[in-house]
Copies of this chain bind each other. A is one copy, B any other.
Amino acid sequence: MEELVLTEPNEETIVEEQAPKKVNVDLGVPKTQRKRLVIIGGGFAGIHLVKKLSKSSYQVVLIDKHNHHNFQPLLYQVATSGLEADSIAYPIRKVLSDHEDYHFRMGEAQEIKPHEHVLVTDKGSIAYDFLVIATGAKTNYFGMENVAKHAYPMKSVAQAMKLRNTILENYEKALLTNNLDEREELMNIVIAGGGPTGVEMAGALAEFKRYIMPADYPDLNIERSKIYLVELLPELLPPMSDEASKKSEEYLRKMGVIIKTETKIEDYDGQVVKTDKGDIPSRMLIWTGGVSAASIPGLPDEVMAKGGRIKCNGFGQVEGFERIYALGDVAQFHSEEFPKGHPQLAAVAVDQGEFLGKHFSRMHKGEDLKPYKYNNKGSMATVGRSKAVVDLPNWKFQGAFAWFVWLGVHLFSLIGFRNKIVTFTNWVSNYFSRDRHSRVIIKD
A261 part of interface (Cβ distance < 8 Å): no
A417 part of interface (Cβ distance < 8 Å): yes
CA distance A177 to B87 in the complex (A): 31
Residue among A14, A178, A425, A437 facing the most chain B CB atoms (10 A cut-off): A437
A442 part of interface (Cβ distance < 8 Å): yes
What is the oligomeric copy number?
2
CA distance A86 to B430 in the complex (A): 14
Which of A212-220, A292-300, A339-347, A373-381 touches B? Answer: A212-220
Map CB proximity to B onto A353-395 as digits: 1 under 8 Å, 0 otherwise: 0000000000000000000000000000000000000000000
A115 part of interface (Cβ distance < 8 Å): no
With both chains docked as a complex, state the minimum distance between the C-beta of A154 and any C-beta of chain B, in angstroms: 13
Map CB proximity to B onto A2-14 as digits: 1 under 8 Å, 0 otherwise: 0011111110111
Q: Is the Cβ of B12 less than 8 Å from the Cβ of A178?
A: yes
Q: Is the Cβ of B422 less than 8 Å from the Cβ of A180?
A: no
With both chains docked as a complex, state the minimum distance between the C-beta of A66 and any C-beta of chain B, in angstroms: 7
Q: How many residues of A contact B (CB 8 A)?
A: 70
Q: Is the Cβ of A176 less than 8 Å from the Cβ of B5?
A: yes
Quick one: which of A217-260 are within 8 Å of B by CB? 217-221
Q: Is the Cβ of A421 less than 8 Å from the Cβ of B425?
A: yes
CA distance A84 to B426 in the complex (A): 13
Residue among A91, A216, A419 facing the most chain B CB atoms (10 A cut-off): A91
A123 part of interface (Cβ distance < 8 Å): yes
Quick one: given A84-B87, A178-B5, A221-B12, are A158 and B216 in contact (CB under 8 Å)?
A: no
Q: Is the Cβ of A106 less than 8 Å from the Cβ of B172?
A: yes
Q: Is the Cβ of A175 less than 8 Å from the Cβ of B422?
A: no
In-complex Cβ contact of A67 among B8, B168, B215, B220 (8 A): B168
Q: Is the Cβ of B425 less than 8 Å from the Cβ of A429?
A: no
With both chains docked as a complex, state the minimum distance between the C-beta of A104 and any C-beta of chain B, in angstroms: 9
Residue of B nearest to A429 (CB): B418
CA distance A437 to B91 in the complex (A): 7
Q: Please, which residues of chain B bring their CB within 8 A of the CB of A419?
A: 437
Quick one: which of A7-64 are within 8 Å of B by CB? 7-10, 12-14
CA distance A166 to B419 in the complex (A): 23
Quick one: which of A412-442 are within 8 Å of B by CB? 416-419, 421-422, 425-426, 429, 433, 435, 437-442
In-complex Cβ contact of A89 among B67, B94, B425, B440 (8 A): B440
Residue of B nearest to A164 (CB): B86
A162 part of interface (Cβ distance < 8 Å): yes
Residue of B nearest to A443 (CB): B158
A399 part of interface (Cβ distance < 8 Å): no
Q: Please, which residues of chain B bring their CB within 8 A of the CB of A10?
A: 221
Q: Please, which residues of chain B bring their CB within 8 A of the CB of A191?
A: none
A85 part of interface (Cβ distance < 8 Å): yes
With both chains docked as a complex, state the minimum distance between the C-beta of A159 and any C-beta of chain B, in angstroms: 8
A310 part of interface (Cβ distance < 8 Å): no
Q: Is the Cβ of B439 less than 8 Å from the Cβ of A91?
A: yes
Q: Please, which residues of chain B bring their CB within 8 A of the CB of A421?
A: 425, 429
Q: Is the Cβ of A158 less than 8 Å from the Cβ of B444?
A: yes
Q: Is the Cβ of B97 less than 8 Å from the Cβ of A442?
A: no
Residue of B nearest to A222 (CB): B9
Q: Please, which residues of chain B bring their CB within 8 A of the CB of A124?
A: 176
CA distance A20 to B69 in the complex (A): 54
Q: Is the Cβ of A440 less than 8 Å from the Cβ of B91?
A: yes
Would you mind naming 10 contact pairs between A and B with Cβ atoms under 8 Å apart?
Answer: A12-B180, A68-B440, A68-B442, A90-B440, A94-B435, A106-B441, A107-B176, A418-B425, A418-B437, A421-B429
Apart from A91-B216, A103-B219: 16 A-B pairs, beta carbons within 8 A: A5-B178, A6-B219, A8-B219, A12-B178, A68-B440, A84-B84, A84-B87, A86-B438, A86-B442, A91-B439, A94-B439, A157-B442, A158-B444, A161-B442, A416-B437, A425-B425
Ranked nearest first, the 7 interchain pairs of A and B with the lowest CB-CB distance are: A84-B86, A68-B440, A93-B216, A89-B440, A97-B215, A84-B84, A86-B438
